[in-house]
Amino acid sequence: MSGDIAKVSGKGSSRSTGNNHFHHQHQPDQPAAPLSRYESQKRRDWNTFGQYLKNQRPPVAISQCNCNHVLDFLRYLDQFGKTKVHLHGCVFFGQPGPRAPCTCPLRQAWGSLDALVGRLRAAYEEHGGSQENNPFGNGAIRVFLREVKECQAKARGIPYKKKKKKKIQIKPNVKDEANSSSKQHPALLSSN
């Protein structure tokens, strides 16, 4: 996903958005450590979103963006997607592995959009935005992502299953077990 976003914005820019509340805090005295893959993607995504807002007519400052700008950006990114999403009239609608090509559109995969929103949500707050006003955390974004997920699952015939959390069982210590069973069942200890 992030690779697609980098194509949209070119090489990425670290120019300021013109708003003093939204800047990356950089300390020039310390040598810059190489960024992790996640941090690099987050930076690229943030720069791309900022460029997208600047290209709007009229341009939108990051501090003025809202969930509608985010939704428009996510829809805009669909044109760079690589996931085939079959339309209702397609003979392959609902089939997980179509055997022939079709003219259905390529879209951004739900998982890619979900990860992108998570990175942008974190970047927004790192650049001075408040958690309460974060447009990436707005309920409308969650609804949009849920609808994309359900639509893609139906169209591709692949249900998304929520991963079950593994239950961690802590085995009690043998002494603790003996003590707890004797407290609960005192008759067991007094057998002659």
> From residue 66, how far is each of 79, 106, 121, 135 by CA, in Å?
22, 27, 12, 5
Do 110 and 148 touch, CB atoms closer than 8 A? yes
- Alpha-carbon span 6 to 24, nearest angstrom: 19
Residue 187 lies in a domain: no
> Which of 33-37, 73-77, 78-82, 97-101 comes out lowest in average pLDDT?
97-101
Q: Running DSSP on this structure, what letter comes out for residue 64?
A: G
Position 61, amino acid: A
Residue 15 lies in a domain: no
pLDDT value of residue 156: 78
Structure-token match 């120019």, residue found: 15
| pLDDT grade for 184, boundaries at 50, 70 and 90 | very low
Q: Is the pLDDT at 186 greater than 90, yes or no? A: no
Structure confidence at residue 128 (pLDDT)? 94
Does residue 176 form part of some domain? no
- 49 lies in which domain range? 37-156
Element (DSSP H or E) covering residue 84: strand 83-84
Task: Report DSSP state, residue 18.
Answer: S
In a domain, 21, yes or no: no
SS3 content of the chain, % helix, strand, coil (to 5): 50, 0, 50
Task: Reply yes or no on whether the pLDDT at 162 is more than 90.
Answer: no
Omega of the bond leading into 59 within 30 degrees of 0 (cis): no
- 57 located within any domain: yes
Q: Is residue 10 situated within a structural domain? A: no
Q: Looking at the 3D structure of the chain, how many domains does it have?
A: 1
Please tell me the pTM assigned to this model: 0.67
| Euclidean distance between CA atoms 145 and 137, whole angstroms | 11
186 lies in some domain: no
Burial letters 26-48, b for 16+ CB under 10 A, else e: eeeeeeeeeeeeeeebbbbbbbb
79 pLDDT tier (thresholds 50, 70, 90): very high
Position 141 in a domain: yes
pLDDT digits (tens, 9 = 90+) for 18-62: 444 454 444 556 667 888 999 999 999 999 999 999 999 999 999
Report how far residue 122's alpha carbon sits from residue 26's, in angstroms, rounded to the nearest whole number.
Answer: 17
Mean pLDDT of the region 120-141? 96
- State residue 129's pLDDT score: 93
* Contact call for residues 2 and 45 (beta carbons, < 8 A): yes
Distances from the Cα of 160 to the Cα of 147, 149, 163, 190, 192, angstroms: 12, 8, 9, 56, 60
For helices 67-77 and 139-156, angle between their N-to-C axes, nearest 10 degrees? 20
Portion of the chain with pLDDT greater than 70, in percent: 66
